[in-house]
């Protein structure tokens, strides 16, 4: 059969139902194995042949690693807690607002539905959202191996681009944030339509009687590793920060002994200029008392993931069965076969192949009601689950309200990307923001329209919101 262009090399797929089982498998397979959490970083690398693996250990179903709770003097977050849960969780919003802000700015709904905080940290992309926020919050990670457990600062975990202090047979199990009362500002800049930020600046501080007693400034995506400047504002009055902001910014950047990155996101000198501007903005908002946070929805329940079918091999192939639009489809496939290719193989050509790199969203489908990019998900992962394409929204000749809204607002354009937009809209209006607040929408729906018809699409989403909430 024909596979998509960025198809991974072959691998053996295994699952772990507990953390102990995952650690045992890692020890058994050694350097031939990689852990698959959300897969939003690993799958693109496998598809682009930037890395290879003989054994892929899927841990997404270990729900003991999905939690957010306050315990002792820490906000504790399980490593498999998704970006979407962190963005919307009430406890995170209460005790670590800048962390929820950083999560809201991660890619899009589809990535936030599957991607996990532990996976993102372990991947150690220098442009990743979490590191500056976690470092500024003085966060720690709990790391487990076979019969071992250790706790280190997030700032000590990162050793360079895509390099961490993790050993081969270790995994991150928890993120801990001290309940220190640090207030903070999260600023970021994303150039063009990039998925990753070009620059991130985070400032946290404590004050007593108008005097700053503790401060931590973290800069990400600018240098090969996140930069932390501690205590630079200590002893300054809040208003004094504003009066001296230029000198403070100059002093901080003069103290950084690192060469800025030159990458696809932006030139190095451009990154530094933007970082200086963002730091100035953050400090002035502190001085003026004008700090503003995203007005975003919150929820208490966390997204869970279940492995509903076992892994049954027939030679080199594995049995899968997927409920697509109410119809069960069974097949023997290679473990590396992606959901996109599986669906198109079985005649669901409405699921479009777009960028094939997990960026455009044209291939978006619903898995158990949540939007995912089918070009980034091995079909074996969704065996036993329900998948919905655009065909599954309508009832015979009766269009779904979202379909009607897109037709009425002429948001169809050429039609290539429309399937993906409708599916992500369904998730957004059902699970995130039924009122379709435009600011929330723009941080959530990041699909790419080849016709650049975003105005009509926004109108269609708002009209669909009215239909679904009982309006006309």
Beta pairing class for 158-160 and 211-220: unpaired
The rounded average pLDDT for each run of 10 residues, N- to C-terminus, in the chain (472 residues) is: 66 96 96 95 90 95 97 97 97 96 95 97 94 97 97 96 94 97 91 78 96 97 95 96 97 95 84 97 94 86 93 97 98 97 97 91 97 97 98 91 96 93 97 94 91 93 95 70
CA–CA distance, 357 with 419 (Å, rounded to integer): 17
Residues 182, 185, 188: CA angle, nearest 5 degrees = 140
For residue 2, the model assigns a pLDDT of 46
> What domains can you pick out in the chain, each with its CATH number?
12-61+310-388 (3.10.20.30), 67-140+147-288 (3.30.465.10), 393-468 (1.10.150.120)
**Nearest Cα to 26, choosing from 49, 67, 54, 61?**
54
For residue 257, the model assigns a pLDDT of 93
Beta pairing class for 33-36 and 55-58: parallel
**Nearest Cα to 23, choosing from 232, 167, 151?**
167
Please classify residue 399 by burial: count the beta carbons closer than 10 Å to its beta carbon, then call 0-12 exposed, 13-18 middle and 19+ buried: middle
* Close Cβ partners of 321 (under 8 Å, ≥ 6 residues apart): 309, 328, 329, 330, 331, 383, 384
Widest distance between CA atoms in the chain:
71
pTM beyond cutoff 0.75 = yes
Q: Which residues, listed in sequence order, are joined to residue 332 by a DSSP beta bridge?
A: 319
* Close Cβ partners of 466 (under 8 Å, ≥ 6 residues apart): 472
Q: Look at residue 128 and give its three-state secondary structure.
A: coil
Q: Which DSSP category does 195 fall into?
A: S
Spatial contact of 129 and 120, defined as CB atoms under 8 Å apart:
yes
**Nearest Cα to 206, choosing from 197, 193, 198, 215?**
215
Residues 409, 414, 416: CA angle, nearest 5 degrees = 110
């Amino acid at each position: 059969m024909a596979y998509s262009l960025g198809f991974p090399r072959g691998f053996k797929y295994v699952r772990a139902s507990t953390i102990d089982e995952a650690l045992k498998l890692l020890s058994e397979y050694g350097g031939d194995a990689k852990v698959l959490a959300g897969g939003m970083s690993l799958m693109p690398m496998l598809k682009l042949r930037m890395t290879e693996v003989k054994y892929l250990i899927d841990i997404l179903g270990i729900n003991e690693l999905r939690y957010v709770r306050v315990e002792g003097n820490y906000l504790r977050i399980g490593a498999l807690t998704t970006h979407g849960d962190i963005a919307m969780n009430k406890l995170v919003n209460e005790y670590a607002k800048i962390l929820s802000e950083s999560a809201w700015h991660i890619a899009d709904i589809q990535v936030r539905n599957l991607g996990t905080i532990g996976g993102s940290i372990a991947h150690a992309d220098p442009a990743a959202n979490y590191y500056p926020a976690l470092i500024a919050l003085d966060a720690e990670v709990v790391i487990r191996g076979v019969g071992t457990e250790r706790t280190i600062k997030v700032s000590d975990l990162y050793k360079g681009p895509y390099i961490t202090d993790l050993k081969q047979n270790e995994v991150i199990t928890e993120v801990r944030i001290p309940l220190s009362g640090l207030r903070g500002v999260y600023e970021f800049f994303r150039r063009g339509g990039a998925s990753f930020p070009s620059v991130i600046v985070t400032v946290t501080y404590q004050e007593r009687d108008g005097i700053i007693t503790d401060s931590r400034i973290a800069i990400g995506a600018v240098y090969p590793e996140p930069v932390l400047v501690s205590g630079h504002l200590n002893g300054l009055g809040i208003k004094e920060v504003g009066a001296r902001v230029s000198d403070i910014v100059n002093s901080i950047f003069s103290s950084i002994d690192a060469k800025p990155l030159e990458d696809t996101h932006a030139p190095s000198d451009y990154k530094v200029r933007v970082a200086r501007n963002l730091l100035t903005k953050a400090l002035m908002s502190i001085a003026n008392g004008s700090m503003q946070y995203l007005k975003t929805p919150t929820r208490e329940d966390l997204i869970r993931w279940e492995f509903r079918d076992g892994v049954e091999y027939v030679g080199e192939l594995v049995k899968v069965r997927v409920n697509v639009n109410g119809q069960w489809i069974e097949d023997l496939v290679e473990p590396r076969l992606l959901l996109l290719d599986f669906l198109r193989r079985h005649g669901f050509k409405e699921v479009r192949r777009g960028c094939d790199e997990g960026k455009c969203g044209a291939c978006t489908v619903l898995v158990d009601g949540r939007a995912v990019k089918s070009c980034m998900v091995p079909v074996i992962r969704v065996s036993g689950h329900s998948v919905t394409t655009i065909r599954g929204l309508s009832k015979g000749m009766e269009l779904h309200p979202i379909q009607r809204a897109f037709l009425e607002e002429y948001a169809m354009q050429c039609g290539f990307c429309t399937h993906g937009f409708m599916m992500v809209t369904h998730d957004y209006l059902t699970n995130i923001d039924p009122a379709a607040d435009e600011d929330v929408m723009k941080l959530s729906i990041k699909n790419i329209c080849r016709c650049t018809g975003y105005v009509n699409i926004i109108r269609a989403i708002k009209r669909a919101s009215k239909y679904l909430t009982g309006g006309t």
